[in-house]
Amino acid sequence: MKLKYYKEDDILVMQFSNKAVDDSFEVESAILEVDKNNAPVSLEILKASKFFNIASKKLPKEVKEKFFTAA
């Protein structure tokens, strides 16, 4: 998986594969792109800083330590 953050647009893109995108689905502030077999290709989180600010307050401590702590 590859991650890329576009600071100027506040978008986080998670790239799961390099397959061709066949369809996409938008749910609130996220866009999921899938291939012809409906397998995830990428996930775009719009307004990523807001999403992670909210998520970090609701996630269990163990998850926050794993994902939000600098290595």
Q: How far is CA 40 from CA 15, 28, 37, in A?
A: 9, 17, 9
Adjacent-strand bridge partners of 67: none
Tens of pLDDT, residue by residue, the chain (71 residues)? 898 999 899 999 999 999 999 999 999 899 999 999 999 999 999 998 888 777 777 777 776 666 655 44
HSE-up of 32 (CA within 13 Å, CB side)?
Answer: 7
Q: Are 21 and 35 in contact (CB under 8 A)?
A: yes
* pTM (two decimals): 0.73
The domain segmentation of the chain, as residue ranges, is 2-68
